[in-house]
Chains A and B, each alone.
Chain A
Amino acid sequence: MIALDYHSILGAQYKENREYKIVVSVYFVLRPFFLANRFLSRTNKKLVAYLLELKGTYVYLLENVEEIRNENLSLQIASIEETIKYIYAVQNDLEQHLVNPRSKALKATHDIIAEILEIMHDTLRLLKKNTLKQPVTAVSEEAKTAVSRSGKTMNRILYGR
């Protein structure tokens, strides 16, 4: 039940993040005008509210982890990964304009977004740790290569060959 509700929340958050990307773009268009900073301060208040909501959701999931353990959370994981992609894009847009940060509000936006990303990664990790694991049917080529590489290094360290 928690998993189903959380999926709805993630859907809403995804839409909201798309709006933030637009907001950031609008800010850089408006920047030459004096209203831009007021516009950004208002956005920051919304971002802080969003951050608090994310933190609250994370703590709630952490406290109720038994209820999601071994549920198939692949949909929720995919949603949160998509949201993270959007937030990184927003952060990237901001960083391009922060070479000479003159606006305190803009610096605050950057810091809030960095914290949003951190809590989203924490939530993603929590979901991945507790989701139902799919059994692997065959060992991947990547796994074989990784083991061969480490084996070769250990042989040279231990036996000089």
Chain B
Amino acid sequence: MAVNQRDVFLLPHPYGSNYGEPHPHIVLSILEANQHENTFIAVMVTSSEITRDDFSFTLLDEMFEKPLAKKNSHARMHLLTLSFGEDIDRPKINTMKAAPFRALMKSIGDLIFNFQFLPQ
């Protein structure tokens, strides 16, 4: 399955469904890198209000091609995960629009790495 930048996948808990609920993840890495060793880098999304803080990037329905499954969703910008393509067990659930994705990447660059991530 092609894993494209900006795709949103629901990834199951790494140690099985008994350990916890699946979380949506927004793919940050580009297709070429994802295909190299069938891995991809994604940022975790949650709707938990307890974890909302300055490392949260608020996600709105308007930022995606389809409305979000849960309200009050936010990306946990410091929780970047490395996953295998085969960790995906269902089709993508959404795609983030280009402009808000650019804002997300700039925020991750600035607030997590103290670097300017600028698109080409």
Which A residues fall within an 8 A CB radius of B? Answer: 77, 81, 84-85, 88-89, 91-92, 114, 117-118, 121-122, 124-125, 128-129, 131, 133-134, 136, 140-143, 145-146, 148-154, 156-157
CB distance from B41 to the nearest CB of A (A): 9
Interface residue ranges of B29-61 to A (CB < 8 Å): 37, 39, 44, 46, 48, 50-51, 53-54, 58, 60
Number of interface residues, chain B, beta carbon within 8 A: 34
Interface residue ranges of B50-80 to A (CB < 8 Å): 50-51, 53-54, 58, 60, 62-63, 76, 79-80
A-side binding surface: helix, strand, loop or mixed? helix
CB distance from B113 to the nearest CB of A (A): 12
* In the complex with contacts A81-B58, A142-B46, A121-B76 CB distance below 8 A: no
Q: 1/0 contact trace for B11-23 toward A, CB 8 Å?
A: 1011100001001
8 A-B pairs with least C-beta separation = A146-B79, A88-B62, A121-B103, A149-B14, A92-B62, A150-B82, A128-B54, A148-B14
Question: Does B84 belong to the interface (CB within 8 Å)?
Answer: yes
Task: Establish whether residues A129 and B111, one from each chain, have CB atoms under 8 Å apart when the complex forms.
Answer: yes
Task: Establish whether residues A129 and B110, one from each chain, have CB atoms under 8 Å apart when the complex forms.
Answer: yes
Number of A-B contacts (CB under 8 A): 85
Task: Establish whether residues A153 and B62, one from each chain, have CB atoms under 8 Å apart when the complex forms.
Answer: no
Distance A150 CA – B13 CA, assembled complex (angstroms): 11
Which B residues fall within an 8 A CB radius of A? Answer: 11, 13-15, 20, 23, 37, 39, 44, 46, 48, 50-51, 53-54, 58, 60, 62-63, 76, 79-84, 87, 99-100, 103, 106-107, 110-111
Residues of chain B lying within 8 A (CB to CB) of residue A154? 82
Residues of chain B lying within 8 A (CB to CB) of residue A145? 13-14, 20, 23, 44
Residues of chain A lying within 8 A (CB to CB) of residue B84? 153, 156
Interface centre among A118, A146, A154 (most CB of B within 10 A): A146
Task: Establish whether residues B63 and A131, one from each chain, have CB atoms under 8 Å apart when the complex forms.
Answer: no
Residues of chain A lying within 8 A (CB to CB) of residue B50? 140
Residues of chain B lying within 8 A (CB to CB) of residue A114? 99
Interface centre among B20, B54, B63 (most CB of A within 10 A): B54
Closest to A81 in B: B58
Residues of chain B lying within 8 A (CB to CB) of residue A140? 48, 50-51
